[in-house]
Amino acid sequence: MPVIQYKCPNCGGNMTFDSETETLACISCGREDRIEDLPDPLTKATFAEHEAQEYQCESCGAVLITDAETASTTCSFCGSNMILGDRLAGKLAPVKVIPFAVSKDEAIQAFRKWCRKGLLTPKGFQTADRIQSIKGIYVPFWLYDLHNHIEVEASGTKVRTYVRGDYRYTETEHFDIYREIELKYVKVPVDASEKMSDELMDKLEPFPYDKLKRFNTAYLAGYAAEKYSLDGEQLLPRAKDKISGFIDEYIQSTISGYTTVHYRSKKIETTPERVEYVLLPVWMLQYDYKKRKYIFAMNGQTGKVVGKPPISKGKVAAWFAGIASVSFFSLKTASWMMGGGFW
């Protein structure tokens, strides 16, 4: 089965993508090659359409069995990087990739710093010394450019109250409201891997899309990668859902100055103008605390960490007690300033 491995021309060692220099670097002799100068082996490769499950490592000859979504992995026998070419060719070929900018060591340090900032997490968790595993993964995403044609019909009122002589008057004007709006949202990201938590992936945003580069398998060297398990058409409803709140906010911003607004109809026609398959960098961390595993994700470009850490019941109780004490003190002070007593 087709396996792509990057070996150093000088010493034969494994070459991996270096997030600091953005080069393909040899971990043995230090040779560095510009990825832009390297030919992508997938451009001339042809593969069968069926999903291959077994791959042979070209370094040690071991046979590896992978699931259908894995596109890049590491040989569990010799540690060599293995890029599975048939998982990244043809309709499975990504258009672009955002390379990792945060190294493994930087990711660990950033995670430990994040743990120490937890105001309500247990002290044992804040030491961040129980990282069970950390893995850099290129996660498949679809990026949508969505054009929205919007028509809104509503009724509104403007209420004015005034006093004339001994009487108070209320005057209500009624309006028919119509809006026709064209809105475009670009690069709306939706993760395409069923393995990944949608909640975690959504919270990792935003990714710096100015860092997108034309896809080359060399960026995957040293990292795991997944191919998409859901295509762009299947995930279009999620993309529409992600922008629905922004559309509603924009509509409301165009209908201002009314006392009340009642929407009679709201028609939104969303058309995908461009849909691109890309790979985005994510560090996945597994943390063990009191025999329970916690999963966290880190944006491989920005270092943003997301996940649900354990909560200290004692700190939560103290926090609420502190709020109650502040409220009690404020009330007592206000009472004293007004010349009264609180007791």
DSSP secondary structure of 31-90: -EEEGGGSPPGGGS----SS---EEE-TTT--EEE--TTEEEEE-TTT--EEEEGGGSSG
Instruction: In whole angstroms, give the CA distance from residue 238 to residue 234.
Output: 9
Predicted confidence at residue 315, as pLDDT, reads 58
Q: Indicate if the pLDDT at residue 254 is higher than 90.
A: yes
Q: At residue 300, does pLDDT exceed 90?
A: yes
Strand-pair partners of 276? 143
List all residues 6 or more positions away from 181 whose beta carbon is below 8 Å from its beta carbon.
148, 149, 150, 151, 152, 250, 251, 254
Mean pLDDT check: name the lowest of 8-12, 45-49, 204-208.
45-49
Cα(82)–Cα(66) distance, integer angstroms: 11
Distance separating alpha carbons of residues 140 and 236, to the nearest angstrom:
15
Structure tokens at 246: 């922004």
The candidate with the shortest Cα–Cα distance to 227, out of 184, 200, 196, is: 196
pLDDT at res. 233: 95
Q: Please give the residue that has the higher pLDDT: either 211 or 8.
A: 211
- Distance from CA of residue 289 to its chain's centroid? 25
Residue 228 CA to residue 280 CA, distance in Å, equals 12
Q: Map tokens 């191919």 to a residue.
A: 227
Q: Which residues contact 73 (CB under 8 A, 6 or more apart)?
A: 64, 66, 82, 84, 224
Instruction: At 83, list the tokens.
Output: 């890029």
Residue 214 to residue 277: CA distance in whole angstroms: 11
Mean pLDDT, the chain, whole residue set = 82
Ranges 61-75, 119-133, 257-271, 317-331: which has the least confidence: 317-331
Percent helix, strand, coil in the chain (nearest 5)? 25, 40, 35
Instruction: Categorize the per-residue pLDDT at 229 as very low, low, confident or very high, splitting at 50, 70 and 90.
Output: confident
d(CA 205, CA 198): 11
Task: Report pTM.
Answer: 0.77
Q: What is the pLDDT of residue 317?
A: 57
Q: By C-alpha distance, which of 45, 91, 51, 94 is closest to 69? A: 51
The reported pLDDT for the residue numbered 337 is 39
E-only strand ranges, 119-217: 131-164, 167-191, 213-214
Residue 48 has pLDDT above 60, yes or no: no
For residue 272, what are the β-bridge partners? 146
